[in-house]
Amino acid sequence: MKVNYIPVFYFGQRRINNLQDKHYFLKKHLDFLQSLDSDSPIHATLVINVSSTHDEVDVKQIISEYTLNIPVETMFRENSGYSYGGWNHALMLNIFNQYDYSFLIEDDYVPSRKDFYTPFINQVKEDTSFVCTKLFLSPLHAAISNGLLPGNNAKKVFEVYGRVFDVNSGDSYGHAEMSQVNFLSLFDSLGLKLTELSEEFEKPFLNFNSEIITYGGQIKAPIEPIRAE
């Protein structure tokens, strides 16, 4: 089993205003990746939505300070399409590299244990395209912006459409809403489905108080950054 772990990072202005270290999320993910053994099924693709000319230099310097036992690829791209654009970019380049699953994750979710993906894999059925927690915020907005995507189904969509995410904005809805609706429509057209992760178990993600949070819950930034040692 091979899992492509794809967090998407952005270092520009964001809704979390008290994030004093803009690289906080990157460091926390690297802390997690550094904890993995060389026999881990995880391969990491770190997608950097570039917000300034310094991003590439800064990120490479931070990564060089870590000892990583697993393959880690860093991808720098124009800041377009938000997380959806980043995931689509990574999948387009990596989708035929024989990954069984891709775990699409926001930068402000950090796994709290090495087998964080296991409950998601256990939910995969033959016709499932995406496994996540589904939270309806409006009739057209389901919180499916991160979760587990089985590789074979991603390939089916890619072969038909040349993309996995349609990140075009609509006229009547916000960018995020339209991205999610368009994402689902691509899979629906091929008879693939979304599976909601609804079992009751300890969801393996941390907030900034080192507490286990519900998958899909909001993470609040610390007043003072916790720096990687």
Question: Hey, where are the domains in the chain?
Answer: 3-213
Q: What's the pLDDT tens digit per position in 2-47?
A: 999 999 998 877 665 556 788 988 998 999 999 999 999 999 999 9
Residue 219 has pLDDT above 80, yes or no: no
The answer, yes or no, to whether residue 157 has pLDDT greater than 50, is: yes
How high is the pLDDT of residue 14?
A: 64
Closest listed residue to residue 79, CA positions, set 178, 217, 175? 175
What is this structure's pTM? 0.84
Enumerate the H helices of 40-98 as residue ranges. Answer: 55-64, 82-94
Taking the alpha carbons of 51, 54, 57, 58 in that order, is the dihedral positive or negative?
negative
Say whether pLDDT at 66 is over 90.
Answer: yes
Q: What integer best gives the mean pLDDT of the chain?
A: 79
Longest dimension (CA), the chain: 48
What is the number of alpha carbons within 13 Å of residue 193 lying toward its C-beta? 9
Residue type at 80 in one-letter notation? S
Tally Cβ neighbours within 10 Å of residue 69.
13
Angle among Cα 10, 210, 116 to the nearest 5 degrees reads 70
CA dihedral (145, 52, 89, 162) positive or negative: positive
The answer, yes or no, to whether residue 56 has pLDDT greater than 80, is yes
Q: Which CATH fold would you assign to the domain 3-213?
A: Spore Coat Polysaccharide Biosynthesis Protein SpsA; Chain A (3.90.550)
pLDDT, average across residues 65-82: 92
